[in-house]
């Protein structure tokens, strides 16, 4: 149980275009999902916290107009990178909290999406 999927697993796009990444909890309902970005050989940096039915909370320094997050249902959150530039090339990872579990600890991670902007 507790599987989180991401789609696509990798994507190449041209500079100036927008790319949407999906994060789905497959066998549980997630009231909260998190989006991280990871550059090569670096750690995960939290970009934003996505709550179902409300606006996402962005971390300091993350442009909300550039990284659009939508958490329209309890099993799906999307991250749209708008007007992508080469510096947005990165590994994007989502995680989800199971609303059925007590405590703040339980997060399940997706396999990540490799974005390359040419």
To another protein, the closest distance from the beta carbon of 12 in angstroms equals 15
- Of the two residues 38 and 70, which places its CB atom closer to another protein in the complex? 38
CA dihedral 62, 12, 83, 15 (to 10 degrees): 120
CA distances from 28 to 5, 49, 73, 96, 117 (A): 12, 18, 12, 9, 32
Q: Quick check: 77 binds another protein (CB under 8 A)? A: no
Q: Is the peptide bond before 25 cis (omega within 30 degrees of 0)?
A: no
Stretch that binds another protein, among 21-29, 42-50, 65-73, 82-90 (CB under 8 A): 42-50
Q: Quick check: 29 binds another protein (CB under 8 A)? A: no
Complete DSSP assignment for 86-98? GGG-EEEEEEEE-
- Of the two residues 8 and 16, which places its CB atom closer to another protein in the complex? 8
> Binding residues for another protein, per CB under 8 A?
6, 32, 34, 36, 41-46, 49, 60, 91, 93, 95, 97, 104-105, 107-112, 114
């Amino acid at each position: 149980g507790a599987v989180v999927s991401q789609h696509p697993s990798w994507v190449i796009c041209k500079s100036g275009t927008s790319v949407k990444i999906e994060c789905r909890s497959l066998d549980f309902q997630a009231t909260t999902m998190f989006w991280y970005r990871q550059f090569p050989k670096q750690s995960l940096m939290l970009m934003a916290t996505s709550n179902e039915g409300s606006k996402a909370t962005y971390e300091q320094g993350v442009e909300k107009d550039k990284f659009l997050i939508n958490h329209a249902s309890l099993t799906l959150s999307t991250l749209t990178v708008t007007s992508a530039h080469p510096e947005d090339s990165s590994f994007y990872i989502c995680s989800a909290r199971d609303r059925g579990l007590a405590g703040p600890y339980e997060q399940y991670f997706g396999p990540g999406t490799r974005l390359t902007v040419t």
